[in-house]
Amino acid sequence: MRNNEKGMTLLELMLTVTILIAIVSVMPLLMNAAVKSTGVDLQHQEAQLFFRLFCKEVREASQITIVGDKVELLKTDGARVLYERYGSSIRRRVNGTGHEVVLQDIRRVKVNLLGKKVTIEVELQNGESEQRMVFQIADEA
């Protein structure tokens, strides 16, 4: 008599599920190790995005006013954009409304204006200090 083997037995199914669970449970550990090994610092990337936005708006501003760590930009379309420290973050407000956090987890921010040159320095919580210098390009209104 010949035994016809069609399908899977319960034992084979349980073995397959056990192997699958073992692989899935190890995946988060492997992913975490991969992210750490690449040296990706999310705060540094966030700071780079903030500086790109800030520099773009300074270049497009027709008038710049700095009081302490607050920077007010009058854009050519009449909008007033305010960058200010808000706790351990920097927020952006347009025409006195809104609350857009553009950079978080900072220790300190320092802004200087000399003619049409704006220098901004931000110290991050991880101890790194980032600094940018940008020139106003738009003509004053």
Residues 2-50 have pLDDT tens digits of: 566 677 788 888 999 999 999 999 988 888 777 665 555 788 888 899 9
67-90: buried (b, 16+ CB within 10 Å) or exposed (e) per residue?
eeeebbbbbeeeeebbbbbeeeeb
User: Which range of residues forms the domain containing residue 90?
Assistant: 42-135
> Does the predicted model carry a pTM greater than 0.85?
no
Q: State mean pLDDT over 74-98.
A: 92
With a cut of 60, say whether residue 65 has pLDDT above it. Answer: yes
Decide if 109 is inside a domain: yes
Q: How many domains does the chain have?
A: 1
Decide if 130 is inside a domain: yes
Decide if 15 is inside a domain: no
pLDDT at 38 (0 to 100): 57
Amino acid at 72: E
Position of tokens 């501003």? 61
Q: State mean pLDDT over 82-103.
A: 92
Structure tokens at 138: 């738009």
